[in-house]
Homo-oligomer: A and B are copies of this chain.
Amino acid sequence: MIDLDGIEEICNPSPSKIIMLVIDGLGGIPDPKTGYSELEVAKIPNLDRLARESACGRTVPILHGITPGSGPGHLSLFGYDPFKHFIGRGILEALGIEAFVGKSDVAARGNFCTVDADGLLVDRRAGRIPTEQSMGLCEAISSIDIPGVELSVLPVQDHRFVLVMSGDDLSDSLSETDPQILGKAPLEVTALSLDAQKTCNAVNRFIQRSTEVLHGRDQANMVLLRGFSMIPDLPSMATVYKLSPAAIAAYPMYRGLAQIVGMNVIKTGKTIDDEIDTLEKHINSHDFFYLHYKPADSAGEDGNFEAKVAALEEIDARIPRLLQLNPDVLVVAGDHATPSVLASHSWHPVPVLIRSRNTRGEGVNGFTEKTCLAGTLGTFPAKNLMLLVLSHAGKLSKYGP
């Protein structure tokens, strides 16, 4: 497999513009009652027409049979090998609330839990206490003083929070504390590498002090921590692809992901219409735009077939606005499938289309899992999508003499 270093040599800047619309959780599987998937049921005349004018196919996000999380699913779409590059759970959670995490900081995903008088877990989620209550508790344990480490505890939602630690020589090679089962005491953190001992001691000290601060409460009287991680040092899309890439995403986590791969994150609003307004306003300042659309995934995760159909129809109705911007290459892709019948991400290949002046249609009649199976792009690793996109945009020269 060619690596990003090798790609850099054949990438060339050009004035052509690329819009990559990522429909989160795009793919589905047939509802057993009807035999049709969400894409097959949805009325998506614009996407169907695009498919008829485009090169179509299916992306395999990670590997056949592997279900991706949002991190690896997006890294693949941006051309990064999801096995070589990894974004930890703590970092992803921090990105989700736009918490500042410095280059040498360590972030962890945390949550309040409830232990009994013997310190044994009776509720791993502390009754999912409301966010308002969490906020006060986060503030209380945020003020804990650990020598050599600055820490902040930031509420996320309900019982969940993010712990960010700053200091010299911190490491994220730490074990997690959630024993995943009730009736046991939360685990001590252990250092998984020699240079993690300092951070390990600091975290254990923080947990001990938190327990003291939260002592006496009926619930939410302890914390669990997992997914210790640092911001990975990824090669920038700007450098590798010789692009000026921008991200427009209503959800913070996707803005954070985009920032990690070197995109310029443009401020936008909360809806897809806000996003497209932003795109229209900035279309002349960049040559690559990543546009993220979340509702299809949310509906799929909820197991709500009709809501996913509606979400697909909503984004379909916005396609004409994207076309009016006259991009040289328009890509419609998904980071993974989220079939409503599974109510979760899944391992299934995801429909994809690339429309450029080099595509005039290839007999694919509509944008569904089955029609794209017959597309000329075939079924291919998502991490190779960017190469196809750059080629269609005339930004990739030939490899080898």
Contact = CB atoms under 8 A, between A and B. Distances in A.
Nearest to A2: B83
Contacts of A384: 63-65
Contacts of A369: 376
A32 interface: yes
Interface in A379-394: 379-381, 384-391
Interface in A118-163: none
B396 A65 contact: yes
Interface string A73-95: 10000000011001111001100
A400 B370 contact: no
Instruction: Identify which of A72, A93, A373, A397 gathers the most chain B CB atoms within 10 Å of its CB.
Output: A373
A373 to B, nearest CB: 6
Q: Determine chain A's interface SS by DSSP, over half rule.
A: loop
A25 interface: no
A353 to B, nearest CB: 14
A374 interface: yes
Nearest to A32: B360
Interface residues of A, number: 67
Interface in A37-83: 58, 62-73, 82-83
Contacts of A10: 66
A194 interface: no
Contacts of A6: 83
A50 to B, nearest CB: 17
B29 A68 contact: no
B373 A378 contact: yes
A6 B38 CA distance: 32
Given A65-B388, A341-B358, A362-B370, 4 more contacts: A67-B398, A69-B398, A346-B391, A379-B379
Contacts of A390: 65
Contacts of A347: 387-388, 391, 396
A12 to B, nearest CB: 11
B70 A401 contact: yes
A97 interface: no
A35 B360 contact: yes
Given A32-B360, A373-B378, A378-B379, A401 B87 contact: yes
Nearest to A394: B342
